[in-house]
Amino acid sequence: MSQKKSTSLLITVLLSTLAAVSFFPIYLAVINSFKTQGEMFRSFVALPSKIHFSNYVDAFRQIQLLHSTLNSIIISVVGIGGIVFCAALAGYKLSRTSGRLSSIIFFLFIASMLVPFHSIMIPLTRMAKALSVQGSTYGLAIIYIGLGVNMAIFLYHGFVKSIPRELEEAAQIDGCNEFQTFFKIIFPLLVPITVTIAILDFLWIWNDFLLPLLMLTDVDNYTLILSTNTLFGEYNKEWSLILAALVLTAIPVIIIYSFFQKFIMHGIAEGAIKG
């Protein structure tokens, strides 16, 4: 029995050490963002002698925090809303319809999940320019819908199979047309998988870097990540300022993480196992 206890202790020590190492960069970013540049270079590891908010005031202004956060929110909300709306309609119908056409359309959606983004980025940029959706936040959100529906349709398609058909038949007998049946009866039943999809897409869209980099040209439309990237390029020696910006960029996701941790982890596991 004592051997079992010592193994258990060893695992605890190991996990704690790894956790400390894993948390170390975040700790460093946070404490140094409260120091002056001079104090920081004396020691990176020590706690700040006095808390300075001046880095945050500067970073707040430099990355236009409110504005770029708002842009990120608009892109995520419109993108996720669009993906959920379009994919729920399509996934439901494709799941309920048999026949060749339905299978072909479904296959097209699924096969495209294997296409790497980097293989389409050049024609996509041209397409966005041609349709003049390049450079606008709403335009970017629409592109996210086009790129995100395939996985969402896949997840909805699987989930709809677990919903008994009798519900729709009953609604139709009661005089609902197809769309009423979908929005009043089916869509509310899809909530669990909708939450999963919304979470996966939020993490993807909010944290995405390359697509916004290619699409957004005007600083006023920059997402939070893009603004921070620009700041990093311009002030690459002013670490206290950069760290404050990094912390400000990470705060929204950390807040969301602390509130929705259960849902996020469940969503990831669910999304992966269905895939």
Partner 1 sequence: MPIKSYKKYISLLTFVAPAFVLYAIFLLIPTLGGMFYSFTDWNGLNTNYEFIGLGNFIEALKEDPDFISSIFFTLKYVLFMVVLQNVFALLLAVFIESRAKSKGFFRTIFFMPNMISTIISAFMWTFVFAQVLPQLAEKTALTFLDQSWIGDPQVSFYSILIVSLWNGVGYMMIIYLAGLQGVPQSLKEAAVIDGATAFQTFRNVTLPMITHAITICFFLTLNGAFKVFEVVYGLTGGGPGRSTQVITMNIYEEAFSNNFRYGYASAKSVILFVIILIFTLIQIRVMKKREVEA
Stretch of 5-13, 62-70, 165-173, 191-199 lying at the interface with partner 1 (CB under 8 A): 5-13
If the CB atoms of residues 65 and 128 are measured against partner 1, the closer one turns out to be 128
Interatomic CA distance for residues 206 and 19, integer angstroms: 26
Shortest spacing between CB 171 and partner 1, in angstroms: 15
- If DSSP states are collapsed to H, E and C, what string results for the chain? CHHHHHHHHHHHHHHHHHHHHHHHHHHHHHHHCCCCHHHHHHCCCCCCCCCCCHHHHHHHHHCCHHHHHHHHHHHHHHHHHHHHHHHHHHHHHHHHCCCHHHHHHHHHHHHHHHCCHHHHHHHHHHHHHHCCCCCCHHHHHHHHHHHHHHHHHHHHHHHHCCCCCHHHHHHHHCCCCHHHHHHHHHHHHCHHHHHHHHHHHHHHHHHCCHHHHHHCCCHHHCCHHHHHHHHHHHCCCCHHHHHHHHHHHHHHHHHHHHHHHHHHHHHHHHHHHHC
State the binding string over 196-235 for partner 1 (x if CB under 8 A, else -).
-------x--xxxxx---x----------x--xx--x---
Count of residues that interact with partner 1, criterion CB under 8 A: 90
Nearer to partner 1, 41 or 138 (CB): 41
Site for partner 1 in 77-106 (CB under 8 A): 82, 85-87, 89-90, 92-94, 97, 99, 101-102, 105
Query: Least distance from C-beta 195 to partner 1, angstroms?
Result: 16
The contacts of residue 189 (CB under 8 Å, 6+ apart) are 163, 167
Write the interaction track for partner 1 spanning residues 236-275; mark x where CB under 8 A is met and - where it is not: ---x--xx--x--xx--xx-xx---x---x--xx--xx-x
- Residues 9, 18, 51, 57: which binds partner 1 (CB under 8 A)? 18
Considering only residues 39 to 68 of the shown chain, the ones binding partner 1 according to CB under 8 A are 41, 43-45
Residue 57: closest CA among 48, 65, 49, 67: 65
Of 195 and 214, which CB lies nearer to partner 1 in the complex structure? 214
- Residues 166-185, one symbol each (x = binds partner 1 by CB under 8 A, - = not), give ------------x---x---
We find the least distance from the C-beta atom of residue 127 to partner 1, in angstroms, to be 6
Chain residues 121-150 in contact with partner 1, contact rule CB under 8 A? 121-124, 126-128, 131, 142-143, 145-147, 149-150
| Residue 36 within binding range of partner 1, rule CB under 8 A | no
